[in-house]
């Protein structure tokens, strides 16, 4: 979300002070581009089983081409440099969730990785593009193993439910990554 977009939301410019401060102190963690979170860097061996907006889905579901639980425990990678703002078991069908804030070209974005089997990062840590942040899971057996990935241009949103007709604040993950590779 750019600061120019603030006029359209209830978010104040002060909300960005924390992120402006941490990225100014650690500029090497400002994103320079993005890759896919599985089969790095181009999702080799995976397919997008449920795409953004299909059935009101707010993300992309990445599955291994072997089907079923063949991808259970496979690595998940940070799509870009950033700051881990959340990394814990959320429950409610989400299971283990990782949320990373990315500063990119003066704007902020958030990547959300859900249904993780294991989390390899801690809240408050910095990550680099391609760094292993966790493994693919099944939300404690709620689903076949897969990675639910969301990209948000509003970094202050609640976790939500993963499905909605209202896509305000959400971006198509595949389109975003393909448009911002380096």
Q: β-strands 147-152, 60-64: how paired?
A: antiparallel
What average pLDDT score do residues 96-124 get? Answer: 98
What pLDDT sits at residue 6?
Answer: 44
Supply the DSSP symbol for 146: B
Of 43, 58, 50, give the one whose Cα is nearest residue 171: 58
Q: How far is CA 135 from CA 9, 23, 140, 146, in A?
A: 34, 26, 13, 10
- Domains present along the chain, CATH in parentheses: 3-179 (2.70.70.10)
Provide the whole-model pTM: 0.93
Q: For the segment 21-64, what is each residue's pLDDT rounded down to a tens digit?
A: 999 999 999 999 999 999 999 999 999 999 999 999 999 999 99
Is it the case that residue 124 has pLDDT exceeding 50? yes
């Amino acid at each position: 979300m750019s600061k120019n977009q603030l006029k359209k939301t209830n978010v104040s410019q002060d909300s960005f002070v924390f992120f402006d401060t941490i990225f100014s102190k650690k500029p090497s963690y400002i994103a320079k581009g993005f890759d896919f979170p599985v089969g790095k860097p181009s999702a080799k061996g995976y397919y997008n089983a449920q795409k953004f907006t299909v059935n009101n889905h707010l993300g992309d579901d990445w599955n291994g081409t072997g089907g079923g639980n063949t991808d259970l425990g496979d690595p998940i990678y940070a799509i870009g440099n950033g700051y881990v703002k959340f990394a814990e078991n959320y429950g409610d069908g989400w299971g283990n969730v990782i949320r990373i804030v990315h500063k990119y070209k003066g704007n902020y974005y958030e990547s959300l990785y859900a249904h993780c089997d294991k989390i390899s990062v801690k809240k408050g840590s910095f990550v680099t593009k391609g760094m292993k942040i966790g493994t693919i899971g099944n939300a404690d057996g709620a689903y076949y193993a897969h990675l639910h990935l969301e990209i948000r241009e509003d970094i202050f949103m609640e976790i939500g439910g993963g499905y909605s007709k209202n896509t305000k604040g959400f971006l198509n993950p595949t389109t975003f990554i393909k448009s911002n590779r380096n």
